[in-house]
Amino acid sequence: MPSVRTYIGIGSNLNNPANQVRQAFQALTELPASRLTACSPWYRTAPVGGPAGQPDYLNAVAALETELTADALLAMLQAIEIAQGRVRTERWGPRTLDLDLLLYGLVTCDDPQLTLPHPRLHQRAFVLYPLYDIAPELTIPRLGPLTILLKNCPPLSITRLDIENEPVTIMPSNPFSLKSFSNPPP
């Protein structure tokens, strides 16, 4: 099978999120018939939805070339979540690790078990910004150019971290204004 370019959203807000994200990237390098080709910078983001008072998230995006089918890849991502201690309780509740299959090539699919592109991708600044860092030219099937999605995405409190995990004020390569980038939630 020819390889397909996929993008995976990574999120954690429990049990040392920095370790969780680091370990998730490592686990992605170990997937069969796959090659990790890019890792985005990390972002600290305020929780969206879910119960009040949960900790901030650490988010990142990975690019993976894979010969796995989309279903097989999703099953392996879920196995990594479980291996890193994920317990599914309430929807959008705190989690040690969330791995979302954002895109699988140009495939579109409406199956609730695997919807492609990921159904909430365009509403989530914490997905769009790291995706832009590693794939600025991307056009998303059904949704259009990533740059347009970024301009239209709902404001959210989100901070890019530098290599030492310290906040940096603005993304040097990013054409979008800090104002709309760092709007605190109402």
> Footprint of ligand ADP on this chain (CB under 6 A)?
74, 88, 92, 98, 100-101, 113-116, 118
Map residue 172 onto helix, strand or coil: coil
For the bound state, the minimum distance from the C-beta of residue 2 to ligand ADP, rounded and expressed in Å, comes to: 21
Structure tokens at 167: 């906040």
Task: For strands 139-140 and 57-66, give the pairing.
Answer: unpaired
Residue 101 interacts with, from ligand ADP, Mg ion, none (CB under 5-8 Å by kind): ligand ADP
Please pick, among 5, 22, 88, 95, the residue that the annotation labels catalytic.
Answer: 95
Q: Which helix (H) or strand (E) holds 75?
A: helix 70-83
Rule CB under 5 A: which residues touch Mg ion?
98, 100
Please pick, among 35, 44, 100, 142, the residue that the annotation labels catalytic.
Answer: 100
Please pick, among 44, 86, 124, 160, the residue that the annotation labels catalytic.
Answer: 86
Is 98 tagged catalytic?
Answer: yes
For the bound state, the minimum distance from the C-beta of residue 186 to Mg ion, rounded and expressed in Å, comes to: 25
CB atoms within 10 A of CB 182: 16
Burial class, 54, CB count within 10 angstroms (exposed 0-12 / middle 13-18 / buried 19+):
middle
Is 71 tagged catalytic?
Answer: no
Catalytically active residues, by annotation:
86, 95, 98, 100
